[in-house]
Amino acid sequence: MGKCKDITRLLSDALDRSLSTGEWVAIRLHLPTCSGCRNYRKQIRLLRVAAQVASGAASVDGAASRDE
């Protein structure tokens, strides 16, 4: 473990399933040493939020939709 290919795979998997303790440890050991994987994590988190907003799961501005 510890290669970028493995870590990005785990970061992606973490959106869909629970990671094992060992998998989280591998991520936590790797991220501080690798800006590439940190950026990857940031990107997939943004994508995740955007997808939730688009699907209506996060309708934060629903109250502002009345016409006046």
Compute the least distance from the CB of residue 51 to Zn ion, in Å.
24
Least distance from Zn ion to the Cβ atom of residue 9, Å: 11
CB-nearer residue toward Zn ion: 4 or 58: 4
DSSP state, residue 19:
P
Q: Which helix (H) or strand (E) holds 65?
A: none
Judged by CB, which is closer to Zn ion: 5, or 17? 5
Q: b/e per residue, 15-53, with b = 16+ CB within 10 A?
A: eeeeeeeebeebbeebbeebeebeebbeeeeeeeeeeee
Shortest Å, Cβ 59 to Zn ion: 35
Q: Footprint of Zn ion on this chain (CB under 5 A)?
A: 4, 34, 36-37
